[in-house]
Structure 1
């Protein structure tokens, strides 16, 4: 599996590059097919970043990530 840096993840924000990726618990997910992530934004969250710490404020659990493809891991 590919490993990406935080800088590489940051470019996959739906603006700088067409990919829309987010990280959660060390895995990077492609959320680009979700209508909820259009243009790289989901409510007050932006793609291209690690959302691990932000999940506690979300109205859903970590299981939401199960429907997205894991495309790599985040280099710590």
Structure 2
């Protein structure tokens, strides 16, 4: 019974042969009217990262210093 499940007929079916052959029909694809292509926008500038932004934001935070003293035997 397990071999039947493993090697038996699968529930997945392939597309019919005529649909598979349509994938390779380049002449039929080229003969179809082309869809209206959207206008392509070109970017004329590039943005730069702000330098020092992190330091500006962190300057506003309070600084807390915690010192830990260990005994000499540790």
> Which category describes the TM-score, using the shorter chain as reference length?
under 0.3
Please say which structure displays the higher CA radius of gyration. Answer: 2
Query: Does 1 or 2 have the higher relative contact order (CA < 8 Å, sep 6+)?
Result: 1
Query: Greater share of strand residues, 1 or 2?
Result: 1
- TM-score normalised by L of structure 2: 0.17
